[in-house]
Amino acid sequence: MELGTRTMAVHAGRNDLARLGVHAPPLDLSSTYPLLDHEQGGLDLGTFADGAATAGNPVYSRLHNPTVARFENALAELEGTDEAVAYASGMAAITAVIMASARAHVIALRPIYGGTDHLLGCGLLSPEVTYINGIEQLAGALRPDTGLILLETPANPCLDMIDIAEVVRIAGEVPVAVDNTFATPILQNPAKHGAAYVIHSATKYLSGHGDVLGGVVACSAELAGPLRQIRILTGSVLHPLAGYLLHRGLPTLPLRVLAAQHNAGILAERLATHPAVAAVHYPGLPGADAYGLLGSQLSGAGSIISFETYSDPIPVIEKLNLITPAVSLGSVDTLIQHPASLTHRLVPEQARRESGISPLLLRLAVGIEDANDLWADLDTALNLVLAA
């Protein structure tokens, strides 16, 4: 019988603890490991270099770390994939997926996270990139050398939703990578809809407390091998303490995600009727779910809202007291930022406009505080700006 998500979140990556005689997972900070049998150590090193998930001895922490492996196993279980590979950050995870596509042609569906957009466009990894603005442009963008299709749903920052199964169908043999940072494995499992790679900036909801930088890719065992090889070669490893903290946070992930989503539903409705607000983007609002994905692909609307004001939105941010002006999202506390000047600053202006990232847009990453306190803060700031 498949376990429920909450049970899985609590127990994943912990099944051996009772046998080990401990209740909390051990934190292994070793950078290197004694090799009492040198010949076997050499064989183990070779096994990791071939992309294996485990060998008899970790040998060296860039090759393997048992604490990080616990987090990876737990995340793979939550996403419903064979394996997961953790990285130092979400960007390191995305870089590894692009590198694994063998520097072939990449198709990116805009809008995507500003850092991903810039990474693809700046030529650093030198794959040829075609940016498209909608699923209807996908078939025409496919080439014989297309090695990867990259998308985000719900997307940053306007919460656009894309039908993953439909993209996978059009893609045929080409692997589809889905950045699942906004939805988390609690609300959406892209691999169940055919995505080859499920990417997370673990810095966000998976951490949940604003104190860890990390990334992870969930995928098949076959695709995980090359990702681990890239991690060994580029040294983009997740620190074991970060792995420990991410694993520690998983048991409360379902509770945090649902509590923040509850707040976001309340705030989105109130924002939609506020006289200072011109538009609200939130998957749960009427008309926001053109393809009917809410309730099927995406089990809940999540806790990111973006909204537009009628005039310069920066004064609104400046008048908030409780809500913190900061980039990032997915923390227990509510954050607000201005995408055009911060997270999506490096996206070319025309592409920003085509993706609906207006200079009047603010992105609110809702936390788990009391909804009425968050609304009082927002309402006061919006009213002060209206009155000015």
Ligand X SMILES: *Cc1c(COP(=O)(O)O)cnc(C)c1O
List contacts with ligand X (CB under 6 A): 89-91, 113, 115-116, 152, 156, 179, 181-182, 201, 203-204, 213, 215
Q: Nearest Cα to 112, choosing from 125, 129, 124?
A: 129
Q: Is 179 a catalytic residue?
A: yes
Q: Is 113 a catalytic residue?
A: yes
Hey, which residues does 298 pair with through a beta bridge?
A: 294
Q: Is 62 a catalytic residue?
A: yes
Nearer to ligand X, 8 or 199 (CB): 199
Nearer to ligand X, 96 or 382 (CB): 96
Q: What is the C-alpha separation between 3 and 11, in angstroms, rounded?
A: 10
Closest CB 188 distance from ligand X, rounded Å: 13
The single-letter code of the amino acid at 95 is T
Closest CB 291 distance from ligand X, rounded Å: 20
Of 14, 70, 110, 204, which is the active-site residue? 204
Query: CA separation (Å) from 177 to 94, 112, 172, 254?
Result: 9, 12, 13, 23
- List, in sequence order, the alpha helices (H) in the chain: 5-11, 17-20, 38-49, 66-79, 90-100, 114-121, 138-141, 164-171, 184-187, 221-234, 240-249, 253-272, 314-318, 349-354, 371-387
Nearer to ligand X, 74 or 202 (CB): 202
Nearer to ligand X, 47 or 203 (CB): 203
Nearer to ligand X, 216 or 381 (CB): 216
138-143 contacts, C-beta under 8 A, 24 or more apart = 138/107, 138/109, 138/167, 138/170, 138/171, 139/170, 141/107, 142/107, 142/170, 142/171, 142/172, 142/174, 143/105
Q: What is the C-alpha separation between 67 and 383, in angstroms, rounded?
A: 49
Report which residue's Cβ sits closest to ligand X: 90
Q: Is 310 a catalytic residue?
A: no
Q: What is the C-alpha separation between 49 and 229, in angstroms, rounded?
A: 6
Of 44, 160, 163, 179, which is the active-site residue? 179
Active site residues: 62, 113, 179, 204
